[in-house]
Amino acid sequence: MIKKFIKIYKYIYMGVCYPDDMDASPIGRDASIEEIEAASDALLGHTFGDIVTTDLSGADRTKVKGQLGELLENYYGMANDNDPLPDFRAAGLELKCKPLKISYGDYFYPKEPLSVGMIDYSEVAETEYWRDIEKLRKKFLNLLIVWFVHDGDSRADFPFIWWQSWSPHEHMDEQIQEEYEEIRRQVLEGEHLSETEAGNDILQTCPKHNYDFANDEPGSFVVNSGHPHLEKPERRSWRIPTRFLVRMLADNANLELIDRGRVQYVKKDALWKKSKDRATDAESISRFVSIGDAQSELRDFDR
């Protein structure tokens, strides 16, 4: 009854439109691994427009990524809050919604890096081991990544194509530690973090602002950061670069990486085939979200 009331409230006051059926049951934040896998399989072959319809035509394009993430959170039955616990509390998984772009007509490549939390400079200065960094421990170690295809202007038509859970293997630990130590060295020696660590393969940092840091523009730096040397260090976040994300995807889907110049891709048709095979035995999406009859059928996987 409470879930139904929330949907009606969002429909009337927030402009969120749900189709007729109000009896679906999102799995919620305390779902088991099995429930998470079932709900994720049910997404494949469907679109954002299938799970909920909102009018994004006039939305600020700089905020669309967050809005799509919120739609996916709603599908899984999560509140849009800033709870520091993992998105799936019982399973300890952090949910990430990531776009794939089409390259050269026949290939997929991650559209953007994966941000995993803001950098706390004082914490980095005091912490020798990367797994002891709070944001990395909570936002990097156990991820549920839901991939969708960013193609065209209609966000409602962006299809879900794959999902994967990911944690760094033990053999990656030494490499990530080496990359973390280089970032920490810059902090301890008073250097501004920059693209000098862009050679890192797994763990990088990136600017987390839309301002001019070179000209000391407010919003580009952190005040009272606790940095051991710099008064106004740049506002940055931890990230996983796209070149590693595509390897994560290929490894999980058991796909060949295709080299084109200095960049690696996965074949578009090959990933769609894997998606179709995975969705064959999936439960109906109507178990997890209220949708109309026309939307309950799988979309065409041959895209």
Answer yes or no: are the C-beta atoms of 95 and 78 closer than 8 Å: yes
**In the structure encoding, which two tokens stand for residue 25, read together?**
């049951």
Q: Which two tokens stand for residue 151?
A: 């193609």
Nearest Cα neighbor of 294 from 43, 26, 20, 68 is 20
Instruction: Return the SS3 of 218.
Output: coil
Please state, as a whole number, how many other Cβ atoms lie within 10 Å of the Cβ of residue 118: 15
Q: Report the C-alpha gap between 165 and 95 in whole angstroms.
A: 9
- Looking at the DSSP assignment, which residues form a beta bridge with residue 97? 146
User: Per residue, what are the HEC states of 230-243?
Assistant: CCCCECEEEEECHH
Tokens of 291: 């949708």
Per-residue pLDDT of the chain (303 residues; tens, 9 = 90+): 333 333 433 333 334 444 444 467 899 999 999 999 999 999 999 999 998 745 545 555 545 556 888 899 999 998 766 677 889 999 999 999 999 999 999 999 999 999 988 999 999 999 999 999 998 988 888 999 999 999 988 888 999 999 999 999 888 999 999 999 999 999 999 998 875 656 789 999 998 888 777 777 888 888 878 899 999 899 999 999 999 999 999 999 999 999 998 999 999 999 999 999 999 999 999 999 875 543 545 555 555
Question: Whole-prediction pTM value?
Answer: 0.84
Fold for domain 2-294? ECO RV Endonuclease; Chain A (3.40.600)
Sheet holding 204-207, edge to edge: 114-118, 236-240, 204-207
Domain boundaries, the chain: 2-294
How far is it, in rounded angstroms, from Cα 129 to Cα 203? 13
